[in-house]
Amino acid sequence: MRQMNLTKYVQVVSLEDFGKPFRHQAVWNRRLRSTGGRFFPRDGHLDFNPQLYQEFGEPIFRQIVRHELCHYHLYFEKKGYRHQDKDFKELLRKVDGLRFAPKSQQKVTYKCYQCQNCLQIYQRKRRINTKIYFCGRCRGRLLEINQSKG
Binding residue positions: 67, 71
Q: Please, which contacts does 17-22 make with residues 24 or more away whose CB atoms are closer than 8 Å?
A: 17/66, 17/69, 17/95, 18/69, 18/73, 18/95, 20/73, 22/69, 22/72
Is 55 in the active site? Answer: no
Is 7 in a helix, a strand, or coil? Answer: helix
Any residues with CB less than 8 A from the CB of 4 and at least 6 apart, and which? none
Binding residues for Zn(2+): 67, 71
Q: Which of 16, 55, 58, 68 is catalytic?
A: 68
> Which residues carry out catalysis?
68
